[in-house]
Amino acid sequence: MLRDRLQQHQTDRRGDRGDVSAVGRSSGRERRDRAGDLFAQRINSPEMLMKFRPNNNVKAPLARCLSRLLSVSLCVCGVVSAAEFAETGSAGLTSPGRKPMIRIGAAQPRSRLIGYRLANPAEVLAQVDRSLGDLEQIVHKAGEAKCDALAFPEDTLGLGTWEAAHKTALNEVLPGAVKRMLDRLGRAVASHRMYLVCCNDMIEPDGSVHNTAFFLGRDGKEVGRYFKVNMAIHELDRKRGDSFPVFKTADLGGVGMLICYDMVFPEAPRCLALGGADIIFYPTLGGAAIGDDDISRAAIRTRAVENFVYLVVSQRGGGSMIISPQGKILVEAKGPDDIAIADIDPFGGRDGGDAMNHQTDMRARLFRERSPAAFGILTDPNPPVLAKVPETMTVAEAVEISSRALTVGEERFKEADALLRQGKTNDAIAAFEKLRGEFRQTWIDRVSQERLTHLGSARAPRAASGASPDASGFGGAPKPAGEAPAFPIRGIAAQYPGDAGIERDPRVLFAENFESGSIEELGKRWGEISNKDGKVMAFSSDVLHASAGKRSLQMTATLGENTGGHLYTRLPREVDKVFARFYVKFAADAAYIHHFVTLGGYNPPTAWPQGGAGERPRGDDRFTVGIEPYGNYGHYAAPGAWNFYTYWHEMKGSADGKYWGNSLTPAQPALVPRDHWQCVEVMLQCNSAPDKSDGELALWLDGKQAMHIGAGARRSHWTGMGFSLVEEGGEPFEGFRWRTNDQLKINFFWLLHYVTELAGRQNHVAGSNPINRVWFDDIVVSTEYVGPIQK
């Protein structure tokens, strides 16, 4: 009966395992007292005494014997920890040579990714420090729970996405970041006399990068490290490890570590098990098999039971758990920043067998019954199966595609998904098809295919189709190097006082004065609108004195709620040369902005703004020109000075290996006024032929030319940040070869007001104004110079 009741107690506890294994569970003393009371009631019952009493004097020794038996059982089950067990004063219950129970924690931190748009290494390291402060709190939580060891996930510092965007700047960040991690987390675990496993990329002096798991001892010092061996193709720009080290400890036994994709290969944990690992710590960001979540979960359990090891899985956001050598999930973390905690015997828990083979440690038989001589094919780098499945992607392609998927890919996918939600089915289909081509063999490719299948339009990724030829007749012959264009002093607007009727001029492609319709109708008129929760856009009575209208458009960006909004329109016909005039007024308390009004061309043209931040165009797909205030890292008062923020295929790359918009500025800063209407006009002209560099850019402010850039214009040194025009000296500009295919033309205008906290930080402003207002009015896009409104 006692055996039956002990088994029932174990069954009851397994059914309530999560309650006793979370950090917030009742104290060990309370659990032990409840268990002891229950046992005392049972052992002193008449039935129990009658069954186990051979004479009247056996009650006390029998009770003590069975009490110890029950305490050992509860400890093995994990109801009490080694420390709690020791508090009972029953030290003699641990037989000679038997190790005490060990309390293990698997952390499940919430996502603390460091944004890939951060460019300044000092800012990145400051963010690392903030993340480490949070991680230290998790360490202390584990210490307060009396953990003996704790594991953090892969990419512990959250730098992975940033690294994908800044491959040439890793040496400026990784050494300092890893040192901070080992120093700070080492001190934290040392204060609790606790082991720690953490994981992050590290860079060698020769520039090679290892995905590395670090094992720190109870003193906070490094015991050893493991370099990830098995890399997915897109990770092969990193250096592989070439072994599976096992670190011997007196209390944890043999300790091994694997990282993420390693577990997909059954050979990896088997190597550790054969090397003497009793526990494998598994920091990861993914699963242990290719397939659905339940397949991966089953694979992780299988890796534990087929190798007779404890598996400690630590994963960001979800999936952290501890698995026994019998493949049973002992405990799982419940939410962000939780810790899965279990008490284990690293040297036990491996009993099992079948009708003909029962072992207290199954490794004694099965690892001896292997036939290593038959396993030679496992070390063959070119097994016969590879002849059936040729490579579909080079390493360089995979690395490049994955880098974009980790950075801009998700944003691009969300844009396509938004089209679907808005009922723009044809546009969504085109967007998903393009995503499949750009992000092939990634999750974006897979999920885009699922969307297309649902829409009944699943097709193989297609190449971008060419746009229709330009029939505008505008363009003209190239001009001599550096010669300013011969624009009339008075533009189209001079023929239409107050702009009345200007929209009917055949040279005008698009005009908007915000005088008619609702905000919803405005969005339909343009074709694409971003007005989150209806709080960004509103009509205003604040208008320019020369305007014949009574309304302007106010856009308000509210940090913490939105990043502003936009109106986007696809021009009615594609052209080689365009002039875009708009009036703008910034608020008296205007802050720095992130991006502003933009025009350019997409091939094929789209009814929505495309992504591409940090990516150099190919030459036949797109070019864009932003007309933006630029703070120059705080040198100019907010909102900044006017500049062109440009993307084209001959732009210069940044030091981080990415291609951020090249900033082109006039010789003298053109500061943006606050609380004052200003007339802004930009001219963009394509190169006349694919092999010509005679494209141009020009800017007018209140009817006066502020900047003209063409071949031969004198410029400063040209870097990935761009260049400035110079009044004397400098170097001749090579000219704009905006496109390599004359089917790529100018076909969109984007009225954008985009504000982020990053804009303030880049300009060394702490606590940016959370409310950022700007007004727009009297927009005209034409094939000829427009000029200011005439009274």
What pLDDT sits at residue 703? 94
What pLDDT sits at residue 423? 83
DSSP conformation letters of 321-359: EEE-TTS-EEEE--STTEEEEEEE-TT--B-EEETTEEE
For the stretch 688-743, pLDDT in tens is 999 999 999 999 999 999 999 999 999 998 988 899 999 888 899 999 999 999 99
414 and 362 inside one domain: no
Residue 535 within a domain? yes
Please, what is the end-to-end C-alpha distance for the chain in angstroms?
103
Q: Is the pTM of this model over 0.95?
A: no
Looking up residue 264, the CATH number of its domain turns out to be 3.60.110.10
Lowest mean pLDDT of 373-382, 535-544, 555-564, 602-611, name the range.
Answer: 373-382
Total length of the chain: 791
Of the three residues 48, 72, 93, the one that is the final residue of a domain is: 93
Residue 127 within a domain? yes
**Residue whose pair of structure tokens reads 């897979």 in the numeric block:** 446
Report the Cα 230 to chain-centroid distance in Å: 22
What pLDDT sits at residue 108? 96
Looking up residue 686, the CATH number of its domain turns out to be 2.60.120.200
Q: How far apart are CA 425 and CA 421, in angstroms?
A: 9
What pLDDT sits at residue 99? 61
Contacts of 377 (CB under 8 A, 6+ apart): 383
3 state DSSP class of 378: helix
Q: How far apart are CA 767 and CA 754, in angstroms?
A: 17
Q: How confident is the model at residue 38 (pLDDT cuts 50, 70, 90)?
A: very low
For the stretch 224-252, pLDDT in tens is 999 999 988 778 788 899 999 999 999 99
Residue 788 within a domain? no
582 and 442 inside one domain: no
Question: Amino acid identity of 415?
Answer: E
Q: Is residue 576 within 8 Å of 685, Cβ to Cβ?
A: yes
For the stretch 86-121, pLDDT in tens is 333 333 333 345 567 999 999 999 999 998 889 899
The arithmetic mean of pLDDT across residues 313-334, rounded, is 94
Question: Among candidates 555, 471, 459, 553, which has minimal Cα distance to 512?
Answer: 553
Q: Tell me the angle at which helices 425-438 and 443-454 cross, rounded to the nearest 10 degrees.
A: 150
Q: How confident is the model at residue 79 (pLDDT cuts 50, 70, 90)?
A: very low
445 and 546 inside one domain: no
407 and 348 inside one domain: no
CA dihedral sign of residues 146, 149, 154, 157: positive
Q: How confident is the model at residue 552 (pLDDT cuts 50, 70, 90)?
A: very high
pLDDT-above-90 percentage for the chain: 59
Is 548 exposed, middle or buried, given 0-12, 13-18 or 19+ CB atoms closer than 10 A?
middle
Q: Please report the beta strands in 494-547, taking only residues with DSSP state E, as ranges in sequence order.
A: 508-512, 527-530, 537-540
Q: Is the per-residue pLDDT at 525 higher than 70?
A: yes
Residue 160 within a domain? yes
617 and 499 inside one domain: yes
Specify the DSSP element, H or E, that contains 46.
Answer: helix 46-52
For the stretch 616-654, pLDDT in tens is 999 999 999 999 999 988 888 899 999 999 999 999 998
86 and 111 inside one domain: no
Residue 593 within a domain? yes
Question: Amino acid identity of 356?
Answer: M
255 and 278 inside one domain: yes
Q: How confident is the model at residue 489 (pLDDT cuts 50, 70, 90)?
A: low
The arithmetic mean of pLDDT across residues 466-484, rounded, is 33
Q: How confident is the model at residue 441 (pLDDT cuts 50, 70, 90)?
A: confident
Contacts of 769 (CB under 8 A, 6+ apart): 589, 590, 591
Q: Is the per-residue pLDDT at 77 higher than 50?
A: no
Tokens matching residue 744: 């790529």
The arithmetic mean of pLDDT across residues 50-60, rounded, is 39
**Residue whose pair of structure tokens reads 């080079």 in the numeric block:** 394
Question: Among candidates 236, 216, 311, which has minimal Cα distance to 270?
Answer: 311
Query: How do beta strands 552-558 and 598-602 pair?
Result: unpaired
Q: How far apart are CA 232 and CA 479, in angstroms?
A: 52
Question: Amino acid identity of 210?
Answer: H
511 and 628 inside one domain: yes
DSSP conformation letters of 673-689: PBSS-EEEEEEEE--SS
pLDDT-above-70 percentage for the chain: 82
3 state DSSP class of 316: coil
Q: Is the per-residue pLDDT at 470 higher than 80?
A: no
Of the three residues 72, 93, 114, the one that is the final residue of a domain is: 93
Q: How far apart are CA 181 and CA 134, in angstroms?
A: 12
Q: Say which residue, 720 or 550, is predicted with more confidence.
A: 550
Question: Among candidates 782, 788, 731, which has minimal Cα distance to 504?
Answer: 782
Residue 471 within a domain? no
For the stretch 732-777, pLDDT in tens is 999 999 999 999 999 999 999 999 988 888 887 877 789 999 999 9
How many helices (H) and strands (E) are present in the chain, helices listed first? 18, 32
Q: Is the per-residue pLDDT at 564 higher than 90?
A: yes
The most distant pair of C-alpha atoms in the chain lies apart, rounded to whole Å, by: 121
540 and 565 inside one domain: yes
Question: Amino acid identity of 662?
Answer: N
Average pLDDT score, the chain: 83
What pLDDT sits at residue 6? 35
Q: How far apart are CA 506 and CA 498, in angstroms?
A: 18
Q: Count how many domains the chain has.
A: 4
45 and 176 inside one domain: no
Question: Amino acid identity of 589?
Answer: D
304 and 358 inside one domain: yes
Q: How confident is the model at residue 609 (pLDDT cuts 50, 70, 90)?
A: very high
Q: Is residue 273 within 8 Å of 307, Cβ to Cβ?
A: yes
Residue 756 within a domain? yes
The arithmetic mean of pLDDT across residues 404-430, rounded, is 86
Question: Amino acid identity of 709?
Answer: I
578 and 523 inside one domain: yes
**Residue whose pair of structure tokens reads 């808005």 in the numeric block:** 422
Q: Which domain holds residue 33?
A: 2-93
What pLDDT sits at residue 71? 44
Q: Say which residue, 490 or 47, is predicted with more confidence.
A: 490
Residue 489 within a domain? no
Question: Amino acid identity of 121?
Answer: P
CA dihedral sign of residues 536, 541, 543, 546: positive
Q: How confident is the model at residue 136 (pLDDT cuts 50, 70, 90)?
A: very high
